[in-house]
Amino acid sequence: MKYETILQEIYIELKSLSITGNLTTSIPELSKVNPDKFGMHISTIDGQDFGIGDSNEKFSIQSVSKALTVALAFSFLDEEIWKRVGVEPSGSSFNSLIQLEYELGIPRNPFINAGAIVIADMLVTHLENPKQDFLDFIRMISGSPTIDFNLKVAQSEKDTRFRNAALTNFLKSFGNIHNDVETVLDFYFHQCSVEMTCKELAHSFFFFANEGKTKAGVQVLTQSQVKRLNALMQTCGFYDESGEFTYRVGLPGKSGIGGGIAALFPKNFVVATWSPRLNKKGNSELGMNALELLTTKTGMSVF
């Protein structure tokens, strides 16, 4: 497969698209980003790397981190985690409160905010130094020791935390948050503030495509556990646009409001895109187009 040529073709085709999306407004610090950035990076399972555009520039991974926190929690709690978080698509927006009340504080899945906040609570309970241990985990899986939090972004999200604070307090009223609300939120805002380049993000997600093994050969999850998390990314990774993403792209993946998307074709490749202009559902507009072009041109998707 000529990935280099395909990336160039995608890059040219994207330039002719008229884009209507805008930067997120929910985290003030993120509205300072240049909206016209675009990067894309492919890492193949046999060790090749191909990047284009701004693929070596750092951006805020935001909710893409939810796939990494659930992987870490799954690695030591295994199926236990599903007692407190479901595995069903929500059909509602990422920060919705509606379902939580009638489903008695059990979030639909780990990729909506409520579910990710419950996973954050599990990590706060089980890790000795939660923020540092999470950072060490993503540095290890990505092979990139310079990956870090962006403290300004974390603070900016803290300053405007009203909805996530409401979700966490509501979850706590059902007994589904075991730690102090502010401590859990602090962890959650830091995990979302992590910055990576497209290349680092693709390398971080490598184990999802490589039967649980990182690029450096560390077995992070079992093959069966990775199969399950990929299934969840396929059905829930794009909130109430997960069906649309599956229809157009046909790969499991996870998006974030920083404009990043990580997606993968098991046993073949991992791909990361970054373009900060979001569509109405909070997913990167150009990123989705780029990935649709990738699976159309290569014919490589899980379907």
- 121 contacts ligand GLN (rule: CB under 6 A): no
- 204 contacts ligand GLN (rule: CB under 6 A): no
Residue 176: helix, strand or coil by DSSP? coil
DSSP state for residue 195 in the 8-state scheme: E
- 206 contacts ligand GLN (rule: CB under 6 A): no
- 256 contacts ligand GLN (rule: CB under 6 A): yes
The site that binds ligand GLN (CB under 6 A) totals a number of residues, namely: 12
Phi, psi of 53 (to 5 degrees): 65, -140
- E strand segments, 188-258: 195-196, 253-255
Alpha-carbon distance 295 to 303, whole Å?
10
- 156 contacts ligand GLN (rule: CB under 6 A): no
Q: If phi over 0 gives left and psi between -120 and 50 gives alpha, with beta otherwise, what is residue 148?
A: beta
Minimum distance, C-beta of residue 300 to ligand GLN, in the bound complex (Å): 26
Assess contact for 257 and 279: CB atoms under 8 A. Answer: no
- 195 contacts ligand GLN (rule: CB under 6 A): no
- 149 contacts ligand GLN (rule: CB under 6 A): no
Assess contact for 6 and 271: CB atoms under 8 A. Answer: no
Binding ligand GLN (rule: CB under 6 A), the pick from 52, 123, 184, 192 is 192
User: Closer to ligand GLN at the Cβ: 114 or 229?
Assistant: 114
Alpha-carbon distance 163 to 110, whole Å?
17
User: Closer to ligand GLN at the Cβ: 153 or 293?
Assistant: 153
* Residue 6 identity (one-letter amino acid): I
Alpha-carbon distance 69 to 263, whole Å?
16
Structure tokens at 249: 């792209």
- 164 contacts ligand GLN (rule: CB under 6 A): yes
Minimum distance, C-beta of residue 64 to ligand GLN, in the bound complex (Å): 7
Closest residue to ligand GLN in the complex (CB): 63
- 187 contacts ligand GLN (rule: CB under 6 A): no
- 282 contacts ligand GLN (rule: CB under 6 A): yes
Binding ligand GLN (rule: CB under 6 A), the pick from 38, 94, 238, 274 is 94
Binding ligand GLN (rule: CB under 6 A), the pick from 22, 26, 31, 298 is 26
Tally the C-alpha atoms within 13 A of residue 118's C-alpha that lie toward its C-beta.
Answer: 26
- 95 contacts ligand GLN (rule: CB under 6 A): yes
Alpha-carbon distance 164 to 276, whole Å?
21
Minimum distance, C-beta of residue 131 to ligand GLN, in the bound complex (Å): 15
Binding site for ligand GLN (CB under 6 A): 26, 62-63, 94-95, 113, 157, 164, 192, 256-257, 282
